[in-house]
C-alpha cells in the first residue's frame, strides 16, 4: 500500500513537471513568435520607407538603428523572462501594431503623391444647354430640337460633341452654325435655336454677351473630352540641380480642379535648387497679350488663355517673359480653402488696410501688416480688388503674399508633424504634371540639406484701359491692363539672374 502511494506521488510530480515545462515551452514559443513578428514588421517598414524615395540615407540609417534598439528591448525581455516576459510580449505586440500602421500610412503617402502627379492632361466639358424654362430635362427630350453650334473656337471638340450627341440619340440632329460663342448665347436667349452646344469653359465669355447667362440656362447633357498635353521638363535626376519654372494657376471655379477654366491667379515660380532661390512673378489676369497658337497674334486677356487649357496659359506667360515654363500646379477655390485650413491657417502680410467686398464672398477687415487667415479668409483676401488702391495690380500682389505664406509654412520643420494630413489634402486639391519621382526627389533634397530658401517676388504692372479681345469678339470693349513692357523687360532680367548658376537676387531687386 505504501509502495503504491509512493508511485502515485511520483507520477503526480512527473505530471506537474511535464505541465510546467509545457507551459514554459509555450511561453517561450509565443515570445519567439512576438520577436519574429516585430522583426518582419520592422523590415516591412524599412522597405516601404526605402521605396518611398523621400528620406535621405542618414534618416533611413537613424530609423533602422532605432528599430534595432526596439528589437533588442524585446529580445532582452524574453531572454531575462522577468515576470514570465509578459511586459516584453505586450511591448512587442504593441510595437508590431505601430510599425505595421506606420507602413500603411507611408504607403498611403506614396499613393497620395501619385494622385497629385496625375496631371499632364486637360478636361474639356462639352455641354448641351436649353433655356431655364424649357421642358426638356435630358438629351432625349431634345431629339427634335435645333442645336446652335460654332466651329471657330475648339472645332475638334465641337465635332466630337456633335458626333457623341448623335450616337446617344441614334439619329442626326439639326444644327445652326454661328460665327462666335457670344452669338450662340444670344441665339438661345432670343429663341432662334432650342439648344446650344458649347465648351463649359466658355461660360464667362457668353456672359459678356448675355448677362446672367449661367442662371438663365440649364444643362441637360455633358460630354467630357480628355486631352493629353506634352511638356518638356527636367529629368528626374536634374530636378534638384538645375533651375526650373512652375506655373501656379488658380482657376475660378469650385469642385474638380482638372476642368478647363479661366485662370484668375497667374504666378510663375522660378526655382533654383542650387542657390535655394524662388522668384514669384505675378501677372494681372487682365494683362492684354496675344495667346500663342490661339489668337492669331491678336491681343486678349491673360485669363482667357485658361479656357483653352493650362498649356495655353503656360505658352502665353513663357512668351511674355522669354522663358521656358516646365511645370504647372493647378488649384481652385476649394483647393485654397482646404489646404490653408489643413496647414492650421497662414500668416499673410498686407500692404494696405481694407475691408473685403461682398464679391469676395467673405466680408472681413484686413489690417496693414501681418494677418492670420483661415482658408476662407485667405481666399477672400486673394480675390478682393474693388476696395484696393490699385485694383487688379494689387490683387496680384496679395495672391503672391498668400502663396509665399503657404510656401513658408510648408517648408517649416514643424510641418513634418502634419505631413500626412497635408499630403492627403493636397492630393485631393492640387494637380501637377511633375512626376512622382521628381516630387519625391525635391522632398528628399529638402530633408537632406534643410536649406533656408530665399523667396522673393515681383508683380507685373500695367495701365488700365479698354480693348477688343480675341476670345470675346470685336463687338464689345472690355477692361484690360496694357502691359508696362519696360517693367516686363526688368522681370526678364530678374528671371535670368535666378536661373544663372551663382546668380543671387538682392532684397531691393525683386520686391516692389
Question: Does residue 251 sit in helix, strand or coil?
Answer: strand
pLDDT in tens, 262-315: 778 898 999 998 888 999 998 988 999 999 989 889 999 999 998 888 889 999
427-443: per-residue pLDDT in tens? 666 788 888 888 888 88
Using a 10 angstrom Cβ sphere, with 0-12 exposed, 13-18 middle and 19 or more buried, the burial of residue 309 is buried
Least confident range of 210-224, 343-357, 419-433, 460-474: 419-433
Judge whether residue 351 has pLDDT over 70.
yes
pLDDT given at position 211: 87
Query: Closest by alpha carbon to 127, among 261, 219, 260, 253?
Result: 219
How far is residue 260's CA from residue 202's CA, in Å, rounded to a whole number?
Answer: 9
3-state SS, residue 464:
strand
Query: Would you say residue 447 has pLDDT above 90?
Result: no
Print the SS3 string covering 202-247: HHHHHHHHCCCHHHHEEEEEEEEEEEECCCCCCCCCCCCCCCEEEE
Q: Kindly give the interhelix angle for 375-383 and 333-342, rounded to the nearest 10 degrees.
A: 140
Contacts of 41 (CB under 8 A, 6+ apart): 95, 96, 99, 100, 103
Q: Rounded mean pLDDT of 414-436? A: 70
Using 50, 70 and 90 to split pLDDT, how confident is the model at 60?
A: confident
Residue length of the chain: 512
Cβ–Cβ < 8 Å for 338, 256: no
Q: Can you give the pLDDT at residue 430?
A: 77
pLDDT at residue 377, as a whole number? 92
61, with CB counted inside 10 A (0-12, 13-18, 19+), is: exposed
C-alpha closest to that of 124 among 256, 8, 18, 26: 256
Cα–Cα distances (Å) from 481 to 24, 111, 323, 491, in that order, read 85, 42, 22, 17
On the question of pLDDT at 412 being above 90, the answer is no
pLDDT attached to residue 6: 52
Per-residue confidence (pLDDT) for residue 93, from 0 to 100: 86
Lowest mean pLDDT among 277-286, 322-331, 357-366, 429-438: 429-438
Higher pLDDT, 290 or 93: 290
The helix/strand/coil state of 432 is: strand
Average pLDDT value over all residues in the chain:
82
Q: What is d(CA 18, CA 157) in angstroms, rounded to the nearest whole number?
A: 83
- pLDDT score at 21: 47
Say yes or no to pLDDT of 254 above 60.
no
- As a whole number of angstroms, the distance between CA 455 and CA 277 comes to 6
Residue showing cell 450616337: 167
In this prediction, what percent of the chain has a pLDDT beyond 90?
Answer: 31
Higher pLDDT, 372 or 117: 372
DSSP line for 252-268? S-SS-TTB---EEEEEE
Out of 87-91, 202-206, 283-287, pick the least confident.
87-91
Amino acid at each position: 500500500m505504501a509502495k503504491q502511494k509512493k508511485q502515485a506521488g511520483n507520477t503526480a510530480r512527473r505530471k506537474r513537471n511535464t505541465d510546467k515545462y509545457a507551459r514554459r515551452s509555450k511561453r517561450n514559443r509565443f515570445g519567439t513568435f512576438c520577436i519574429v513578428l516585430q522583426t518582419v514588421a520592422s523590415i516591412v517598414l524599412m522597405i516601404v520607407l526605402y521605396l518611398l524615395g523621400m528620406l535621405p540615407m542618414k534618416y533611413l540609417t537613424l530609423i533602422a538603428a532605432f528599430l534595432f534598439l526596439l528589437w533588442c528591448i524585446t529580445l532582452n525581455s524574453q531572454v531575462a523572462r522577468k515576470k514570465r516576459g509578459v511586459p516584453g510580449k505586450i511591448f512587442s505586440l504593441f510595437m508590431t501594431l505601430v510599425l505595421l500602421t506606420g507602413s500603411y500610412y507611408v504607403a498611403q503617402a506614396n499613393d497620395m503623391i501619385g494622385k497629385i502627379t496625375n496631371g499632364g492632361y486637360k478636361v474639356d466639358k462639352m455641354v448641351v444647354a436649353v433655356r431655364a424654362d424649357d421642358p426638356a430635362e435630358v438629351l432625349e427630350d431634345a431629339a427634335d430640337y435645333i442645336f446652335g453650334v460654332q466651329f471657330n473656337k475648339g472645332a475638334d471638340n465641337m465635332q466630337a460633341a456633335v458626333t457623341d450627341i448623335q450616337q446617344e440619340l441614334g439619329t442626326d440632329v439639326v444644327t445652326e452654325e454661328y460665327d462666335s460663342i457670344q452669338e450662340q448665347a444670344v441665339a438661345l436667349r432670343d429663341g432662334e435655336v432650342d439648344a446650344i452646344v458649347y465648351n463649359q469653359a466658355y461660360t464667362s465669355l457668353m456672359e459678356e454677351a448675355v448677362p446672367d447667362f449661367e442662371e438663365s440656362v440649364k444643362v441637360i447633357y455633358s460630354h467630357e473630352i480628355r486631352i493629353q498635353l506634352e511638356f518638356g521638363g527636367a529629368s528626374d535626376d536634374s530636378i534638384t540641380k538645375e533651375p526650373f519654372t512652375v506655373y501656379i494657376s488658380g482657376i475660378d471655379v469650385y469642385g474638380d480642379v482638372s476642368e478647363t477654366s479661366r485662370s484668375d491667379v497667374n504666378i510663375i515660380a522660378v526655382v533654383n535648387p542650387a542657390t535655394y532661390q524662388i522668384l514669384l512673378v505675378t501677372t494681372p489676369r487682365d494683362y492684354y497679350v496675344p495667346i500663342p497658337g490661339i489668337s492669331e497674334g491678336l491681343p486678349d486677356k491673360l485669363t482667357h488663355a485658361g479656357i483653352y487649357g493650362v498649356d495655353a496659359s503656360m505658352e502665353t506667360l513663357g512668351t511674355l517673359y522669354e522663358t521656358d515654363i516646365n511645370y504647372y500646379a493647378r488649384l481652385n477655390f476649394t483647393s485654397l480653402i482646404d489646404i490653408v485650413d489643413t496647414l492650421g491657417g497662414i500668416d499673410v502680410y498686407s500692404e494696405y488696410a481694407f475691408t473685403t467686398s461682398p464679391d469676395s464672398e467673405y466680408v472681413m477687415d484686413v489690417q496693414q501688416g501681418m494677418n492670420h487667415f483661415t482658408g476662407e479668409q485667405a481666399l477672400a483676401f486673394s480675390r478682393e480688388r474693388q476696395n484696393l488702391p490699385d485694383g487688379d495690380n494689387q490683387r496680384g500682389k496679395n495672391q503672391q503674399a498668400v502663396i509665399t505664406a503657404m510656401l513658408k509654412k510648408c517648408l517649416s520643420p514643424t510641418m513634418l508633424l502634419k505631413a500626412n494630413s497635408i499630403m492627403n489634402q493636397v492630393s485631393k486639391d492640387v494637380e501637377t504634371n511633375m512626376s512622382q519621382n521628381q516630387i519625391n526627389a525635391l522632398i528628399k533634397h529638402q530633408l537632406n540639406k534643410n536649406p533656408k530658401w530665399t523667396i522673393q517676388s515681383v508683380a507685373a504692372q500695367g495701365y488700365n484701359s479698354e480693348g477688343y479681345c480675341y476670345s470675346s469678339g470685336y463687338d464689345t470693349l472690355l477692361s484690360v491692363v496694357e502691359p508696362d513692357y519696360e517693367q516686363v523687360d526688368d522681370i526678364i532680367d530678374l528671371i535670368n539672374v535666378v536661373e544663372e548658376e551663382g546668380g543671387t537676387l538682392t532684397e531691393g531687386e525683386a520686391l516692389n
